Structure 1
Amino acid sequence: MEAAFSLNQCEAMIRKGSSSFYKAFGFLPSPRKEAVYVIYAFCRMIDNAVDEPEQSPYTIDELEEQFTHLEQADGHFIWPALRWLFHHFSVSKQPFFRQMEGQRRDLVLTHYETMEQLEEYCYLVAGTVGEMLLPVLHNHPDEQIVEAGIYLGKAMQIVNIVRDVGEDQGLGRRYLPLELLQQHGYSEQSFEAGVIDDHFRSLIHALERQAKDWFLKGLANISSYPPASAFAVELAAGFYGAILDQVIANRYEVFAKRAVVGPLAKLKIYKSIKEKYMADVVLESGAVSL
């Protein structure tokens, strides 16, 4: 009874927090989709503990302490949900600890200097999510499969960074590395002023190329996944990749406008990916509707 309530609460969190992920992973059969919801919910709590501490039920240190002693943790639906996750799937705790390390980085490192720094951050806050999800989505995730999952997570984080330039700027953060600004002749002063010119567009194109390269690496072994998992992963990647297309459609206005992929665009992506998979595999999961 407690687990069922907890899983429902996790589903509510992903439904509210990420319509793209909720729709994509809603095509999974149970218990895979519920496991994804739990992982999303806890990662969201880790993120909120740093970015929205006034609205978070726990500090990042309290989350880590409770998670470390998970069997005794109580007071929130996430703890029985996580116990359910670890009971049903061979998920390691280590990626969650690395995720916390990455989110803590936002408290001390607000302006990035190098692409190497940025890639490490992308791994900690998003590549780790790939490590968490693989034991849920794949029947036999070997080292190569896990590496691909990490690339997929890092690709999605690059998309987040491009989409959220203005929002992060408002929080006093610049994830766009200084070396990348300098390579494209775009100054820190222009960044602070929100200037969108050829230099800035060139910089965003470079990040777009990086993201697309990581998306390709992330989907390289997709045929080894169970069909429903492969479909869900491709759909999530398709939805996320389309955010970059929307940035371009918005004429690179990422300082004052958030790129959003609309329902018609999502439906088009869904139809295009669905053609690769048998309809009965997709429909048997009792999926959410687009």
Structure 2
Amino acid sequence: MIERVLQQCEEMIKQGSSSFYKAFAGLPSPRREAVHVIYAFCRLIDDSVDEPDKSPYSIHELREHFLHLEQAEGHFIWPAIRWLFRSYPQLKKEPFLLQMEGQLKDLVFTHYDTLEQLESYCYLVAGTVGEMLLPVLRDDGGDGVRASGIALGIGMQFVNIIRDVGEDLERRRRYIPLEVMERHRYSEKELTQGVVNDRFIAVLQELREVALGWFQKGLENIETYPPASGLAVELAAAYYAGILDSVAAGGYDVFRRRAYVSDESKLLIFQRTLARYALILGEQETAAGFR
């Protein structure tokens, strides 16, 4: 049964995020399967808020089942999560609960005034994912390691916010902080009308620099990860940074065009990153794991 539910989690990450799936595909078992489970649960949390009509649970039901995990039934995620905590007893429940708290925030707080507010939100919905992944990706911890994992998650969420400006407007959400818009003299009216001009480009470029700053902080101690985990983390960061390049290549029109990283670009990123790890991991073995 465990093999079946882990396969179902893998299908969720395959369908939901090819970048995330490919980045972590070369991890050894059971680290790889644990990443799939974490992604699948976070996907359910996210969908319960963004697409409640299609979600098998409300955010409140997910939280209640998670709090009573040993009794939770009715979906493959529950035996998968129980397997996750048995396999990684150092994993804490707090980041999962904070993640749900962040998603709940989307129901009541939809317009941000400051970068500080946005970064707090990004910690809840994405920095916590970094905290979840750390006990899976490495066997040690510490405040410095925790801070880097959180930073990577925050950076990735900033990328999501830049990419999804148009989609979020349709949901009546504005994550771009008002202070950033005012700094570049770009109005809320222009935003709702989907105006792409030099001022809007300046807004996104500022957010891009913030995202890249978080990535830089998140990769500061990458050499302390087990090599396969370090490679996976670097790939994930590079794939997400590639989305920023796609946004720029598309003229920053995030209202009418969803930016993505092509398979060709992912292959180039993979080859470039793998080259630095090949001597440690063995090129043929590592490449086979990421196919």
Smaller-chain TM-score bracket: over 0.9
Task: Give the whole-Å Cα distance in 1 for the aligned partners of 2:67 and 2:100.
Answer: 12
SS of residue matched to 2:56: coil
SS of residue matched to 2:111: coil
Matches within 5 A, 1:187-226: 187-226=187-226
**Which residue in 1 is equivalent to 2:68?**
69
SS of residue matched to 1:275: helix
Task: Give the whole-Å Cα distance in 2 for the aligned partners of 1:66 and 1:284.
Answer: 40
Equivalent pairs counted in the alignment come to 288
Structure 2 length-normalised TM: 0.97
**Which residue in 1 is equivalent to 2:83?**
84
Shift of 1:284: 3.8
**Which residue in 1 is equivalent to 2:125?**
125
Task: Give the whole-Å Cα distance in 2 for the aligned partners of 1:282 and 1:80.
Answer: 35
Task: Give the whole-Å Cα distance in 2 for the aligned partners of 1:112 and 1:129.
Answer: 22
Shift of 1:106: 0.7
**Which residue in 1 is equivalent to 2:36?**
37
| 1:10 counterpart = 2:12 | no
Residue by residue over 1:145-179, the C-alpha shift from the partner in whole angstroms, topping out at 9 and shown as x without a partner, is 01000000000000000000001011111100111
CA contact (8 A) 1:123 1:153 kept: yes
CA contact (8 A) 1:27 1:282 kept: no
**Which residue in 2 is equivalent to 1:248?**
248
AA in 2 matched with 1:62: E
Matches within 5 A, 1:229-268: 229-268=229-268
Task: Give the whole-Å Cα distance in 2 for the aligned partners of 1:93 and 1:283.
Answer: 37
AA in 2 matched with 1:222: I
**Which residue in 2 is equivalent to 1:20?**
19
Shift of 1:56: 0.6
AA in 1 matched with 2:30: P
Task: Give the whole-Å Cα distance in 2 for the aligned partners of 1:227 and 1:200.
Answer: 40
Residue by residue over 1:119-157, the C-alpha shift from the partner in whole angstroms, topping out at 9 and shown as x without a partner, is 001000000000000000012121100100000000000
Task: Give the whole-Å Cα distance in 1 for the aligned partners of 2:225 and 2:141.
Answer: 9
AA in 2 matched with 1:181: M
Structure 1 stretch displaced more, 277-286 or 154-163:
277-286
**Which residue in 2 is equivalent to 1:143?**
143
AA in 1 matched with 2:21: Y
Task: Give the whole-Å Cα distance in 2 for the aligned partners of 1:63 and 1:75.
Answer: 11
Q: Which runs of 5+ in 1 are unaligned?
A: none
Residue by residue over 1:197-218, the C-alpha shift from the partner in whole angstroms, topping out at 9 and shown as x without a partner, is 1111111110011011100000
Shift of 1:278: 2.1
Matches within 5 A, 1:48-67: 48-67=47-66
SS of residue matched to 1:153: helix
Q: Which has the higher contact order (CA 8 A, sep 6+)?
A: 1
RMSD of aligned residue pairs (Cα, Å): 1.1
CA contact (8 A) 1:25 1:36 kept: yes
Calculate percent identity across the aligned residue pairs. Answer: 56
Task: Give the whole-Å Cα distance in 1 for the aligned partners of 2:239 and 2:283.
Answer: 17
Structure 1 length-normalised TM: 0.97
AA in 1 matched with 2:273: I
CA contact (8 A) 1:38 1:78 kept: yes
Matches within 5 A, 1:175-186: 175-186=175-186
Shift of 1:281: 4.6
Task: Give the whole-Å Cα distance in 2 for the aligned partners of 1:166 and 1:7.
Answer: 34
Task: Give the whole-Å Cα distance in 1 for the aligned partners of 2:64 and 2:283.
Answer: 39
Task: Give the whole-Å Cα distance in 2 for the aligned partners of 1:143 and 1:81.
Answer: 28
Shift of 1:288: 4.0
Shift of 1:283: 4.9
Shift of 1:282: 6.0
Task: Give the whole-Å Cα distance in 1 for the aligned partners of 2:165 and 2:268.
Answer: 27
**Which residue in 1 is equivalent to 2:277?**
277
CA contact (8 A) 1:228 1:281 kept: no
AA in 1 matched with 2:22: K
AA in 1 matched with 2:62: L
CA contact (8 A) 1:151 1:214 kept: yes
